[in-house]
Structure 1
Amino acid sequence: MERLADHLDTINRMVGRIVRWLAIAMVLVQFGIVVLRYVYGISFIALNESVLYMHATLFMLGAGYTLLVDDHVRVDIFQAKASPRGQARIDVFGHIVLLIPSMLALLYWSFPSVRNAWAIYEGAISVGGIPAVFLLKTLIPAFCILLLIQSLACLMRNIVRLRT
């Protein structure tokens, strides 16, 4: 089970290594936008939207990696004081009762919107913007799938911890 969890981790590790570069790209593009606007008086809607697209991609696709490295937000009222077995029980509960069902529900309910966006190749948010809202909406099921994959890996590890 540990080996399978390691293979599942590889998916989010690779995605995380790729999307983390978007943070630097966002800063550079935003700096360019500010310089263009306030020094030269020029503004490009597509350039402004590109920051939105990068931000959405970074956070939606990076969520699985954040769970992998255990840097997600955790309310550890009980978790911090629990023994390692108790922590594993709390994590198993969280994955089975909270995370996995919510990701499955979000995946189910977002699918029609994503399908419709792809059917019409939904265009720009603003006039002159990036004509790819269908790609932006595709981040929702990708987010769900990556979190489900990582949740299964974490669940497997916690089950192994509970058995030993």
Structure 2
Amino acid sequence: MRFLGNFVHAIDGLNDWIGRGIAWLVIPMVVITFLVATLRYGFAVGWVSMQESYMWLYGIMFMVGAGYTLLHGGHVRVDVFYRPASARYKAWVDLFGSLFLMTPVLVMILMYSYPYVATSWHRLEGSHETGGLPGLFLYKSVILVFCVLMLLQGLSLAARSILVLAGHKEFEIKEEEHEGV
């Protein structure tokens, strides 16, 4: 059980650290979006690379931050039955959901996206738009990062659930941990 506890702390810490870091991408994304709108509608000037950059930043933020969002309970779920339930019931739901719903879907996404990303790397694919950003292959790699971080966080959630079911109350998810995401 000590191993599971250490695993939970390590993965939760990793995704928390990554999520807090990736959140800073909001600032350049907002600035670039403001500049794109101002230049385009105020001065009739636009650059494809600038337009792509804020979309790429949003995509990176969304995909890389998904594990952080799962850690803090920010993904959509039906809370009608979950929220008022006991810690053991929540642990069973989280264990089942992470092992039998989330993990197979993420493994399938990983399996089907890997050749797509590998082909992009082999070609050193860039933007399909004239004047677009080079390095589309790097951007596509974020799909794999998403899968790995979500899989790790899902396994952490499963391990946390096992610990709660084994009677380790310190691993119960507190409602205040899920606030403010």
Verify same fold: TM over 0.5.
yes
Task: Give the root-mean-square deviation of aligned CA atoms.
Answer: 1.1
TM-score by length of 2: 0.87
Task: Pick the aligned partner of 1:149 from 149, 152, 156.
Answer: 152
The secondary structure found in structure 2 opposite 1:161 is: helix
Correspondences of 1:1-164 after superposition (within 5 Å): 1-164=4-167
Gaps of 5+ in 1: none
Take 2:42 and 2:12, find their aligned partners in 1: how far apart are those partners?
45
The amino acid across from 2:43 in the alignment is Y
**Aligned length in residues:** 164
Check whether the contact 2:7–2:156 (CA below 8 A) recurs between aligned residues: yes
Gaps of 5+ in 2: 168-181
Q: Displacement, 1:64?
A: 0.3
The secondary structure found in structure 1 opposite 2:104 is: helix
Take 1:61 and 1:42, find their aligned partners in 2: how far apart are those partners?
31
Q: Displacement, 1:158?
A: 0.8
Q: Displacement, 1:77?
A: 4.1
* Deviates most, 16-25 or 115-124: 16-25
Take 1:35 and 1:151, find their aligned partners in 2: how far apart are those partners?
41
Q: Displacement, 1:125?
A: 3.0
Check whether the contact 2:99–2:155 (CA below 8 A) recurs between aligned residues: no
Q: Displacement, 1:154?
A: 1.1
Take 1:83 and 1:39, find their aligned partners in 2: how far apart are those partners?
56
The amino acid across from 2:45 in the alignment is I
TM superposition outliers: structure 1 runs of 4+ over 4 Å? none
* Deviates most, 3-12 or 86-95: 3-12
Check whether the contact 1:124–1:133 (CA below 8 A) recurs between aligned residues: yes
Residue by residue over 1:106-161, the C-alpha shift from the partner in whole angstroms, topping out at 9 and shown as x without a partner, is 00111100000000011113111002211121011110000011111111111110
The amino acid across from 2:87 in the alignment is P
